[in-house]
Amino acid sequence: MKYAFSTLGLPGTPLAEAAALAAAHGYDGVELRTHPEEPLHPGSPATDRAAAVRAFAAAGVGILTVAGYARVAAEGPDEPVLAELSALIALAADLGAPFVRVFPGGGTLAAVEADAIAVRRLAAAAPLAERQGVRILLETHDSHRTGAAAARVLDRVGHPGAGALWDVLHTWLGGESPARSSRELAGHLGYIQVKDVASAEDLTPLGLGRGALPLAEAVATAPPGGWLCWEYERRWYPGAEELPGRLAAGRAYLAGLVRAAGKEAVHAE
C-alpha cells in the first residue's frame, strides 16, 4: 500500500514544507487542498505550478490529488461547473497528479434529479480528464455520502475518466458498512480517505485509531498497491492538535492495519 495525507490538516502551509513533512514521516504522497486560501489553486500561475512540481520532486513525494470543490450535482447551469472541472483537470495535469477530487453537492434536490445532473456533468468532463491522464473522483460526501449513492452515478457515467473517492467517515455516517461500501464501489475506486472522530455528534479530528470509525474493516477491503490518504480536518477545527506531531503515529497505525489485513506495505524510498 501507499500512504498520503491531505493538506487540509496543514492550512496555509507552504508546499515545500508539506512535501518535506511527508518525506520525513514516510508518506508516499500528498493530497493538495486546492482553494484560494491555500498556496496552490486553479487560478495559480504557471510559475507557482512549476515550483510545486520542483518542491515535491526534490522531496521524493508525489502529488496524489488536486482536491477541488466543484459540486457536480448542484442546481444551476452546467457551464460554470464544467469550466471549474476543466480548470481542476488542467491543474492536476500540470502537477502530474493522477486524481481530481469533486463533491456531489446535490443539496435538497431529489436523488433522481441530483443523480441525473451529476451523470451529465461527469460524462461530459471524463473524456477530457482521460486525455490529460487524470481521473475525476466523486467523493462519498453530502448528498451522496454512501458508496451505494456514488455508485448510482458512476455506474451510469461508465467512463474510466470518472471514479470514486471513498471517504470512510461519510459512508459510516450514512450507516453503510465498510464491506458494503467496498462492494458498491468495486470497479470505481480511486483510493480510500481515512480519518477518525469520537462519534457522529463530535467530528473533531482525532489521531487514527483513537476514535469510533471502522478503519480496520475499511483497510481490510483496500486493493493491494492502492492508496490510503489521511484527511485530518484541522482547517475546520483549529483547536485540534496540530498534524505534524501526529504524522509518524498515523503512518505507523495505517501500516499496522495493512499488515494485519495481510497486505504488503510498500514504501517508495
Q: What is the CATH number of the domain that holds 102?
A: 3.20.20.150
Q: Is residue 267 part of a domain?
A: no
Task: Fill in the DSSP letter of residue 241.
Answer: P
Strand ranges in 9-149 using DSSP code E only, listed in sequence order: 29-33, 62-71, 99-103, 135-139
* Whole-number Cα distances in Å, 268 to 29, 55, 138, 221: 10, 17, 27, 22
Q: Is residue 183 part of a domain?
A: yes
Q: Is residue 266 part of a domain?
A: no
pLDDT value for 266:
45
Q: Is residue 195 part of a domain?
A: yes
Q: Is residue 43 part of a domain?
A: yes
**Cell numbers placing 209:** 485509531
What is the 3-state composition of the chain as percent helix, strand, coil, each rounded to the nearest 5? 40, 20, 40
Rounded to the nearest 10 degrees, the angle between the axes of helix 78-95 and helix 111-131 is 40
Q: Name the nearest CA neighbour of 98 among 124, 52, 127, 66.
A: 66
Q: Is residue 265 part of a domain?
A: no
**Cα-to-chain-centroid distance, residue 87:** 17
Residue 61 belongs to domain spanning: 2-260
* Domains contained in the chain, number: 1
Residue 219, Cβ density class (10 Å: 0-12 exposed, 13-18 middle, ≥19 buried): buried
Q: Name the nearest CA neighbour of 247 among 28, 99, 12, 15.
A: 28
Task: Fill in the DSSP letter of residue 7.
Answer: G
Q: Is residue 33 part of a domain?
A: yes
Q: Is the dihedral of CA 155, 160, 162, 164 positive or negative?
A: positive
> Contacts from 75-84 at CB under 8 Å and sequence distance 24+?
75/107, 75/109, 75/117, 78/117, 78/120, 78/121, 78/124, 81/121, 82/121, 82/124, 82/125, 84/42
**Cell numbers placing 234:** 484541522
pLDDT value for 268:
38
pLDDT value for 22:
98
pLDDT value for 265:
44
Residue recorded with cell 458508496: 147
269 residues of the chain, pLDDT tens digit each: 999 999 999 999 999 999 999 999 999 999 999 999 999 999 999 999 999 999 999 999 999 999 999 999 999 999 999 999 999 999 999 999 999 999 999 999 999 999 999 999 999 999 999 999 999 999 999 999 999 999 999 999 999 999 999 999 999 999 999 999 999 999 999 999 999 999 999 999 999 999 999 999 999 999 999 999 999 999 999 999 999 999 999 999 999 999 999 865 444 33
Q: Is residue 77 part of a domain?
A: yes
* Whole-number Cα distances in Å, 121 to 71, 143, 157, 226, 229: 10, 16, 9, 27, 26
